[in-house]
Structure 1
Amino acid sequence: MNKQWISVIIAACFEVGWVIGLKHATSVLEWIGTAIAIFISFYLLIKAGEHLPVGTVYAIFVGLGTAGTVCADSLLFGEPWKLAKIICIVVLLAGVVGLKLVTGEPKEQEVSE
């Protein structure tokens, strides 16, 4: 796994943070943290998209962010788990893994003299 894919995973983690912040932020400091998380998330996403297929990057970013947000909502805020929700998350993550597996690694551009 190269550093661009690691950036996508980190960006998805920050996505979870800013989505939770949009719902639960109540103070100026929490809103500032949410804004910083949005910036970091999209900065990392854009940088990864410069080196990887942007459609795959975005799909993986959104899939991981969605699964992470649902899990965080249940773990941190007591949202009940339902079998259908768990099945959907597993299917979503299977799709994310599948996209990653079928997407080739970027080839280094050869510099011609």
Structure 2
Amino acid sequence: MNKDWMKVFVAAFFEVFWVIGLKHAEDFWTWTGTVIAIFISFYLMIMAGRKLPVGTVYAVFVGLGTAGTVFSEILFFGEPFKVDKALLILFLLVGVIGLKLVTTDKVKEGGEF
């Protein structure tokens, strides 16, 4: 895995934090953390999209972020576990992994500052 795909995975990790923050932030510090997570998440996704296919980057970003958010809500916030929801998330992840596997890593030049 190259550094650009690693940016996508780290961006998805931060996406989980800001999505949870949008629901659970209550004071200045939690809102500040949410805004910082949004900035980091989108910055990394945009940087990865400069060299990788944008559609695939976005699909992987959203898919991993969705799965991470659903499982975080179950683990940390008491959301009930439902088998059908878990199976659908698993199906989503299979699609995301499939997109990653069939996407060539031809790095495009340009766009770097």
TM-score bucket of the superposed structures, by smaller chain: over 0.9
Larger Rg over CA atoms: 1
TM-score of the superposed pair, with normalisation by structure 2: 0.94
Preserved contact between residue 12 and residue 65 of structure 2 (Cα < 8 Å): yes
Match of 2:82 in 1: 82
- Shift of residue 2 of structure 1? 0.2
What is the rounded CA distance, in whole Å, between the counterparts of 1:33 and 1:13 in structure 2? 14
CA deviation map 1:79-109 (0-9, x unaligned) = 0111100110110000000000000012465
User: Taking every aligned residue pair, what percent have the same amino acid on both sides?
Assistant: 63
Q: Please give the residue correspondences for 1:16-55 in structure 2 after superposition, counting only pairs within 5 Å.
A: 16-55=16-55
What is the rounded CA distance, in whole Å, between the counterparts of 1:65 and 1:5 in structure 2? 14
What is the rounded CA distance, in whole Å, between the counterparts of 1:43 and 1:106 in structure 2? 21
How many residues in Structure 1 have an aligned counterpart in Structure 2? 109
Gaps of 5+ in 1: none
For the aligned residue pairs, the C-alpha RMSD in angstroms reads 1.0
Gaps of 5+ in 2: none
Misfit runs of 4+, over 2 Å? none
Letter in 2 for 1:15: E
